[in-house]
Structure 1
Amino acid sequence: MLQATGVTTAWVLALGVVLAGLAAAFTSMAQRSLESRSSSRVAVQDGCLIVPGGKGLPRVSEVDDPTLLGVRHAWRAPGTTSLPPYVPRDVHGELVSLLHAGMFVLLVGDHLSGARRTAYEAMRAAVPDHTLIAPHPAVDKLRVILDRAKKNSRAVLWLDQLDQYLVPGGLTLSDVRHIVSASRQRAIIATIRPDLLSQVEAAGSAYSSEFGPLVHDARQVWLTRRFSTHELERAQSRTGDPRIKEALQFTADYGLAEYIGASLTLYTHWRSALEAGPHARGALLVRAAVDCRRLGLTRVLGRELLQDLHTAYLADQPRLQHEPLAAAWEWSTQRRVGTLSLLLPRGEGGGAPVDVFPHLVTATQQHEEQRESPPRWVRDDVFAQVLACTTGDEAQTLAWSAHTYGRRPLARRAYQHAVDASIRHHGLADERTLLAQTDFARWLHLTGDFAPAEDIARTVVQARRRQWGAEHPTTLAARHLLAVIMFETGQQDTALAECEAVLVLQSRLLGDDHPDTLHTRFTRDALRGEQEPPHVAVARLHSDLQARINHPELGEHHPATLTTRFTLAVTLWQTGQSRQALDECRTVLQGRRHTLGTHHPHTLDTLNTMATWLGQSGDATQAAAAFTELLALQEHLNDPRLHDTRASLAHWLAQITGPGTA
């Protein structure tokens, strides 16, 4: 039949062969296209950030860990996340607007300026639903990745350290314009250091002709290493995170992001060298500097002092390699993170004194607290060496540091050193000597060593009488202290009479509302004891408290005001007004924690009083909780009263669960 229509069998066969060939060709082309797209997809995914557990390019909102994009890890603190909360920079709003408008944004900032975190947070705020394309700087895959960015309708291209992409075969001006100019649904965020940007922009450089126009095409936003006043104010509102709170103490010398970003790296590097390796001597020089700071020495540290101190630690580590001293100094002062080193020279030349990066001190303190209870303090021989080279003021700081750790013999030695140093340099009658003696007498009184306290206080009174006269304010303050100490040694009538005489003079010369007058009136009332009817004492103390709160030089949180409030609480308790007494005691405890610190003796006394009253008012559970807190603080300080606290805690635990538990 085909033949009848003029179609030959040969023609049909030939047509079949042709159609079969075309089908095979189209099939091959389709297969190659699929393979090409698959290969491109693999190349993109292999060359870009993929979040853990993800199967493709993530949306911006899915990247909830900034460290995946190069943000530095911070040290972990109890109750915190891996990174501190973000402190918005002044440029944050500008960055958000530019990214939202689909611009090429170049964030220019020094190393450790916080550029990555700032870029990350702005991107999250501006384009959370965009696809994030964050390529690794591998040129062999970059072209495929850039093509993907051009085709994606809603994407943001992340180019951290832009200079890594400015290489032959890398990013071009044409790429940038193709990505951001066709639609406002695509944006580019890049970072670069100022020195590298200068190299790119410098006329005649290897970069300028090819990449200069590219960086000029960007909207450049500059980020400073130091935080502005407004940025620091925002940081203050985030001091619930201990890392921000710590960094804010050192903003005179370091940027906030710089301090937090460098701390973990520097501390880890130093601790590793302490344990093993070829830099044991260098690590011990740093340890000597850290211990000087833990003792309270704040001045820059001479190299000779640290060299002398570190030999005490060398004897404890005989098996470690001890490199030459010159190599140890080179290692300890070598820049490791940006411009920061473990020991930071403060001057020119190889013999310049040094400072120590502050986080090494706080981290060491925390390490010792976690490892031992009470925490291990500085070695006694190191304390003695440091004390020998201190001024009188520095010695007093060392004395209080020793007292805080329960090292009373060392504290007494340091207070005596402060007095001796002042006499040696300034003379017996100098005001600085009298102040050092006054502080020593107060400390002796605080620790219950009343006899020498009275001798020193009496010496100060006599010196001030000779120098200023009996009615001078400084003489009256010295007489007030002597009266307090005399009362403790059993001379109650004489002490009360002296206190009355001082109060009369202060009222006449200074006024009834002067802090010295109010303080002496409080002391006089305390010495009177039960001579005053309770209801009269309560009314008077309420009046005194209000006067101190309203006083322009005192206020609600002044230690003198808190002392008056505590006396009111005690009087209320003694008159049976337990609920009001506990309310006042809680207020005092909160105020003393804020003003004096958690570990101050007055703060601990207040906590002990509140715990006792809670138990006596029938709340054994709250009493046990308060005594548990007190015990932990006293163990930290090696407080000699912790045995009494343990007994009290056991008593109230027994009231809760029965005698067998305690």
Structure 2
Amino acid sequence: MARDTELLAAQAAKLLVECLAAPDRAEDRAWFVHWFQRRQLPDYAESLLAFDGDATPATAALFLEPLWRGRLRTGLRQRPAGEAADQLVSLVELVLHRRTALDLPPTPSSPAGPPAPHAACADHLDFGGSTFHGPVVGVQHVRHLYGDPPGSGRPRPTDWPPAVDLEPLAHGVRPTRRAEGLPVLPPYVRRDADGRVRSALAQAVPKGGLVVVLGEPFAGKTRTALEAVVDALPYVRVFVPAQGEDLRTLPAALRDHPEPCLLWLDDLDAHLGHGGLEPRLLAQLFGQRAVVVATLRESAYDACRDGPGGRVLDVAQVVELPREWSGDERRRAEEAGDPRLAEAARHSGAEGVAAYLAVGPLVWREWQRARRPDRHPRGYALVRAAVDLARCGLRGPLPQDLLLRVHEGYQAVTGMEREPVDEALAWAAEKRHGVLRMLRRGGARMWEPAAYLVDTAAQDEDFPPVARAVWRCALAAADADAAYDFETVAARAWQAFRPAAEAGDSSAMHHLALVAEGLGAQDEAEAWLRRAAEAGQAESAGRLGRRLAERGRTREAEPFLETAAEAGDEAAATLLGRLLLNRARRWLRAGAEAGDPEAAQPARPSPPGSGGADRAAAVAHSDPESPRTPTDTDHTPVWHGILEDLR
């Protein structure tokens, strides 16, 4: 292998020096510049671009060839293994063919390549540098500026872009979600079918051929086919016709072009019929060693097979690409280093990673537009409820009743009253592009949001945060239903509330205290209740007062209970009254025992049947040092109380 690399570097260096010595070989020099750029060697690329010296044979042999041979060896050692060598081989073949077309002599160490198309023509005469002393009769072949007849408007093959310069998004690859700091498209993930596609291309290259990548919509056909072309034929010229464009003049355009070219047809069925591909045209293209690479949807295959296109498919090498990704493909996606790919590998189902990435943005945009009053505002709100609850940590199917309760809280969404619930759910459950639903059924009256919507909402800085009322619903649901992981929901709620609480938001402090109670962190809960109460949160003051009273710290509890009572908390007022009455009875009894007749009178039990007086007497005859316990409702689990508040 080392020896092969050395020979390749030597041959490429000889050709490169030839390009440096000939001003009219600037295009060949540009290919070497591009090769070094792809190998992450910009200094060598810039050196080539800046070269303007006189490369005499002696200079080339003594200095330039050894210099560039070493630089080429450096490029051949760049990863990924094999890719640099394959692309340099393609570049060398390209330059050899171009030199042959220019009638330049071959280098001693390289083959001459196929003869130029005009070499065998008896009527060909090069008039360059000739002098004539009489009339001469000959035939002049005039090439138009474009390789086709006047008016065709098709550029010459030399003006077609090389495969490495094809922009994927401009040639059929679907965009995915944009992410700051990441490229527009995620890196290509090797598919299990790649070997079969490259093998088909290798068989088509020597004498021309048709390769078709077949699969369901959004299977990744276009990206897979393009990557195979760039990998196997990086410097081949590519023609990309518009759908329905007349292809019958292509053989004439290729006739004077000695290098193999490639015809790219995304959605083959759009290029069949009158003026499109048919067996005779394919035969002419193959005669020019043209390679045709196409994609085709499964739904169009049968129609093509049953129609005139069936004869075209007869000569094609068809490679099927499944939409659902295998375990190995998902593993490679997770290891690719792009969070979008890792997310798709984990969350996509039978639709596959490519469909998740391509269809997801389309569904997201449709959902966002649906909030308008004249579209599907209730459908939007129901999906939003499912997405927000999933963001809280309630993964899996969600009860329809919970969605209905939460979605009513989106006050900014107007027009919901015009859309019945059943219609809204039916709209949300429609399959988009044959791939994704916004909501899918997870059982009787159970719904689960599309993972793509949940992931995108969590990462989109412009999407509204989960409201506190939704967090309370999620915490209550997780506490009541073992199908959900309460600790996960509580941990996410803690992260959601803490920044605002630390910034002085008393409501966030109160919610943080409730989360801490649910997790069993009683000291943390009491600390946040105290901070919230001191910041004026009456609900926190009442809750803290009850906690302190339960622990026998009645004198400390009284001011907090009084704050809550003054804010309208009836339970706090009742408990505070009992504590104060209990303390009053104690001192009145002490005064009575000391002989004060005024102290003895209020301490007497009230007559039976006097309601509140009976309860006061019971308090008076209790242990004066023991605080009264809260009512039964105070012992209800914290999340049950939250759920009752929401109802």
> What is the TM-score of this pair, normalised by structure 1?
0.51
1:333 partner amino acid = A
Work out whether residues 278 and 321 of structure 1, in 8 Å CA contact, stay in contact via their aligned partners in 2: no
Counterpart in the other structure of 2:150 = 39
2:160 partner amino acid = L
Indicate which of 241, 265, 277 corresponds to 2:338.
241
Return the offset for 1:410. Answer: 4.0
Unaligned runs of 5+ in 2: 1-137, 498-507, 530-550, 552-647
- Residues 100-121 of structure 1: CA deviation (Å, up to 9, x unaligned): 4423111011111111111111
1:59 aligns with 2:165: no
Work out whether residues 148 and 252 of structure 2, in 8 Å CA contact, stay in contact via their aligned partners in 1: no
Indicate which of 326, 339, 357 corresponds to 1:228.
326
Counterpart in the other structure of 1:167 = 273
Counterpart in the other structure of 1:380 = 469
1:80 aligns with 2:182: yes
Counterpart in the other structure of 2:119 = none
1:93 partner amino acid = G
Counterpart in the other structure of 1:197 = 301
Counterpart in the other structure of 2:408 = 311
- Residues 206-265 of structure 1: CA deviation (Å, up to 9, x unaligned): x2xx22232132111111112223323322321x21211211221445411111112221
Q: In the superposition, relative to structure 1, how do residues 354 and 100 fare at CA in structure 2: closer, same or farther (>3 Å)?
A: same
2:265 partner amino acid = L
Question: Which residues of 2 match residues 332-351 of structure 1 at below 5 A?
Answer: 332-346=428-442
Q: In the superposition, relative to structure 1, how do residues 68 and 408 fare at CA in structure 2: closer, same or farther (>3 Å)?
A: same
Work out whether residues 57 and 132 of structure 1, in 8 Å CA contact, stay in contact via their aligned partners in 2: yes
2:473 partner amino acid = A
Indicate which of 474, 478, 481 corresponds to 1:391.
481
2:465 partner amino acid = R
Work out whether residues 109 and 194 of structure 1, in 8 Å CA contact, stay in contact via their aligned partners in 2: yes
1:135 aligns with 2:230: no
Indicate which of 250, 262, 271 corresponds to 2:347.
250
Q: Secondary structure at the match of 1:294?
A: helix
Q: Secondary structure at the match of 1:220?
A: strand
Q: In the superposition, relative to structure 1, how do residues 60 and 226 fare at CA in structure 2: closer, same or farther (>3 Å)?
A: same
Q: In the superposition, relative to structure 1, how do residues 274 and 80 fare at CA in structure 2: closer, same or farther (>3 Å)?
A: same
C-alpha separation in 1, matches of 2:219 and 2:291 = 23
- Residues 181-202 of structure 1: CA deviation (Å, up to 9, x unaligned): x25x42111111223213333x
Work out whether residues 396 and 414 of structure 1, in 8 Å CA contact, stay in contact via their aligned partners in 2: no
C-alpha separation in 2, matches of 1:191 and 1:164 = 10
Counterpart in the other structure of 2:376 = 279
- Residues 373-405 of structure 1: CA deviation (Å, up to 9, x unaligned): xx7333415633772584146244322221121
- Residues 241-291 of structure 1: CA deviation (Å, up to 9, x unaligned): 121121122144541111111222121222233367522222112111111
C-alpha separation in 2, matches of 1:137 and 1:262 = 23
Q: In the superposition, relative to structure 1, how do residues 155 and 411 fare at CA in structure 2: closer, same or farther (>3 Å)?
A: same
Work out whether residues 110 and 193 of structure 1, in 8 Å CA contact, stay in contact via their aligned partners in 2: yes
C-alpha separation in 2, matches of 1:450 and 1:352 = 38
Q: Secondary structure at the match of 1:316?
A: coil
C-alpha separation in 2, matches of 1:147 and 1:386 = 72
Return the offset for 1:71. Answer: 0.5
1:363 aligns with 2:456: yes
Q: In the superposition, relative to structure 1, how do residues 412 and 445 fare at CA in structure 2: closer, same or farther (>3 Å)?
A: same
- Residues 527-565 of structure 1: CA deviation (Å, up to 9, x unaligned): xxxxxxxxxxxxxxxxxxxxxxxxxxxxxxxxxxxxxxx
- Residues 593-648 of structure 1: CA deviation (Å, up to 9, x unaligned): xxxxxxxxxxxxxxxxxxxxxxxxxxxxxxxxxxxxxxxxxxxxxxxxxxxxxxxx
- Residues 310-346 of structure 1: CA deviation (Å, up to 9, x unaligned): 2221x32337894343442333223323321322344
Counterpart in the other structure of 1:300 = 397
C-alpha separation in 2, matches of 1:256 and 1:146 = 39
Return the offset for 1:304. Answer: 3.9
Work out whether residues 292 and 386 of structure 1, in 8 Å CA contact, stay in contact via their aligned partners in 2: no
Work out whether residues 247 and 260 of structure 1, in 8 Å CA contact, stay in contact via their aligned partners in 2: yes
Bigger Cα Rg? 2
Counterpart in the other structure of 1:7 = none
Q: In the superposition, relative to structure 1, how do residues 332 and 85 fare at CA in structure 2: closer, same or farther (>3 Å)?
A: same
Counterpart in the other structure of 1:404 = 495
Return the offset for 1:137. Answer: 1.2
Percent identity over paired residues: 27
Q: Which has the higher helix share?
A: 1
Counterpart in the other structure of 1:218 = 316
Return the offset for 1:162. Answer: 1.2
Question: Which residues of 2 match residues 426-505 of structure 1 at below 5 A?
Answer: 440-441=519-520, 443-444=521-522
Q: Secondary structure at the match of 1:105?
A: strand
Return the offset for 1:303. Answer: 3.6
Return the offset for 1:84. Answer: 0.3
Counterpart in the other structure of 2:220 = 114
1:217 partner amino acid = V
Return the offset for 1:56. Answer: 4.1
1:187 aligns with 2:187: no
Work out whether residues 113 and 258 of structure 1, in 8 Å CA contact, stay in contact via their aligned partners in 2: yes
Q: In the superposition, relative to structure 1, how do residues 352 and 319 fare at CA in structure 2: closer, same or farther (>3 Å)?
A: closer
2:299 partner amino acid = D
C-alpha separation in 1, matches of 2:428 and 2:314 = 41
2:365 partner amino acid = T
Question: Which residues of 2 match residues 578-597 of structure 1 at below 5 A?
Answer: none
Q: In the superposition, relative to structure 1, how do residues 127 and 388 fare at CA in structure 2: closer, same or farther (>3 Å)?
A: closer
Indicate which of 407, 424, 430 corresponds to 1:328.
424
- Residues 337-356 of structure 1: CA deviation (Å, up to 9, x unaligned): 33213223446xxx764322
Q: In the superposition, relative to structure 1, how do residues 371 and 173 fare at CA in structure 2: closer, same or farther (>3 Å)?
A: same
Work out whether residues 345 and 353 of structure 2, in 8 Å CA contact, stay in contact via their aligned partners in 1: yes
C-alpha separation in 1, matches of 2:172 and 2:483 = 45
Counterpart in the other structure of 1:639 = none
- Residues 458-509 of structure 1: CA deviation (Å, up to 9, x unaligned): xxxxxxxxxxxxxxxxxxxxxxxxxxxxxxx9xxxxxxxxxxxxxxxxxxxx
> What is the TM-score of this pair, normalised by structure 2?
0.52
Counterpart in the other structure of 1:259 = 356
Work out whether residues 494 and 515 of structure 2, in 8 Å CA contact, stay in contact via their aligned partners in 1: no
Q: Secondary structure at the match of 2:283?
A: helix
Counterpart in the other structure of 1:461 = none
C-alpha separation in 2, matches of 1:37 and 1:215 = 27
C-alpha separation in 2, matches of 1:169 and 1:346 = 50
Counterpart in the other structure of 2:232 = 126
C-alpha separation in 1, matches of 2:377 and 2:148 = 56
Counterpart in the other structure of 1:22 = none
C-alpha separation in 1, matches of 2:143 and 2:329 = 55
1:85 partner amino acid = P
**Alpha-carbon RMSD:** 3.8
Work out whether residues 444 and 450 of structure 1, in 8 Å CA contact, stay in contact via their aligned partners in 2: no
Work out whether residues 60 and 123 of structure 1, in 8 Å CA contact, stay in contact via their aligned partners in 2: yes
Q: Aligned residues, how many?
A: 377
C-alpha separation in 2, matches of 1:255 and 1:35 = 43
C-alpha separation in 1, matches of 2:229 and 2:385 = 44
Work out whether residues 186 and 341 of structure 2, in 8 Å CA contact, stay in contact via their aligned partners in 1: yes
C-alpha separation in 2, matches of 1:341 and 1:149 = 47
C-alpha separation in 1, matches of 2:143 and 2:260 = 27
Return the offset for 1:73. Answer: 0.8
